[in-house]
Amino acid sequence: MSEPPMHLWLSEPLPVAVDAVLTRLRQTPGVAHIAVMPDVHLASEFCVGTVVGSESLLFPNAVGGDIGCGMLAMPFDAQAERICDAETAARILGTLAETCPARRHHRRTAHALSSELRDCLFADPRLEGLKRSEDSRTQLGTLGAGNHFLEFQREEMTGRLWLMIHTGSRNLGQCVHHHHLPKARRLHTGIFALDADSDDGRAYLADVQVARAWARENRRLLALGAARAVEQILHVTPLLADLVDCDHNHLATEMHGDRELFIHRKGATAAGPDVPGIIPGSMGTTSFHTRGKGHGAALHSSSHGAGRARSRTEARNHITISALRQQLRNVWYDARLERHLREEAPTAYKPIAAVMKAQEELTTVVRRLKPVLVHKGL
């Protein structure tokens, strides 16, 4: 059997370990097409920054556990220079800790489910019960930790104040993943797969869409919480009509050429013709709003960010607090978190300019934004 086509957009030479994972993926039955984004980096069974198209098999690990993880961007009717001094920044950060908490135990009440979340049902009653539980609803509107963040940013051309949020489906997405993965069979390459034309495959595909809706609602609630924070302190108004939301961990059925494919994106943004996208840099570097070009060989995709250059352990071992301060010298953040923030320092990530250069044929830059204030959790 011939190997499927694999197309790569790279900002640097491919690491040996990443190449080994991609080689194994290319030898996996059922894989029809692979696209590798310039932010690619090692994960486990599937690298972050890969897009896999298949015709008859579904690969749960090609989506991962944070199903629906993605980005939200929203402008305000104000200039970013309104966040201009340490006192104002401290007030905003303190309020964000209340309105946009990192964990559910920081929240006192559970959110009611939106009509969309009430109407989209999990295939398994246990997952549906979990979705409706007070514990899960308390987790709605929480940011999470790791590389999840909330930023206020300055648009380079206009100086306008923007909000950017990166988070996903929290514990619910992980539960969906752990529920379905044991039902998959292990192929000879070691990769787990579900038959798309089976009850288990159809249930997984449907449940992924519910988790994506949950992640969208999570970002929406965080955006409203962030808007309340700056409305109270800066007296500015969010422009909700201009809100953009996109996710980069998902499974979708799409037409590519004359074929209907199951498209798995793990750390990759949909970039069909004129599809809006959001590509963050890092805490101290430029982020981008984009429009897709619909590149066929890339399966209508682009990168989801800069991509890690160092693992979290390497970052902790090599990036000092003084280096972090230097890298974030123009950004307001909670200094009490400095020891932990070293994992997310700009030098823990690839240079975003090189990543964007490598994918010029995949996406068009609409605007560039610089971080002004960063809110992260533990």
pLDDT in tens, 15-56: 999 999 999 999 999 999 999 999 999 887 899 999 999 999
Number of structural domains found in the chain: 1
**Helix, strand, coil share of the chain (percent; to 5):** 35, 30, 35
Q: List, in sequence order, the alpha helices (H) in 291-341.
A: 312-318, 321-327, 338-341
Q: What percent of the chain has pLDDT over 90?
A: 93
CATH number of 46's domain: 3.90.1860.10
At residue 176, what are phi and psi to the nearest 5 degrees?
-60, -45
d(CA 34, CA 352): 23
pLDDT in tens, 135-156: 999 999 999 988 999 999 999 9
pLDDT of residue 9: 98
pLDDT of residue 2: 83
Q: Residue 331 falls within a domain, yes or no?
A: no
Give the DSSP letter of residue 248: S
Q: Residue 318 falls within a domain, yes or no?
A: no
Element (H, E) at 202: helix 199-234
d(CA 24, CA 115): 42
pLDDT in tens, 187-225: 999 999 999 999 999 999 999 999 999 999 999 999 999
Counting as low any pLDDT under 70, the low residues of the chain are 1, 105-106
pLDDT of residue 194: 98
Burial 93-127 (b: 16+ CB within 10 A, else e): bebbeebbbbebeebeebbebbeebeebebbeeeb
Q: Residue 325 falls within a domain, yes or no?
A: no
Q: Residue 328 falls within a domain, yes or no?
A: no
Q: Tell me which residue range forms the domain holding 144.
A: 6-309+349-373
Sheet holding 160-167, edge to edge: 244-247, 70-79, 160-167, 149-155, 363-375, 287-292, 276-279
At residue 215, what are phi and psi to the nearest 5 degrees?
-65, -40
Q: Residue 340 falls within a domain, yes or no?
A: no
Q: Residue 55 falls within a domain, yes or no?
A: yes
For tokens 């050429």, name the residue.
Answer: 257
125, amino acid identity = P
pTM: 0.96
Q: Residue 343 falls within a domain, yes or no?
A: no
pLDDT of residue 1: 61
Q: Residue 187 falls within a domain, yes or no?
A: yes
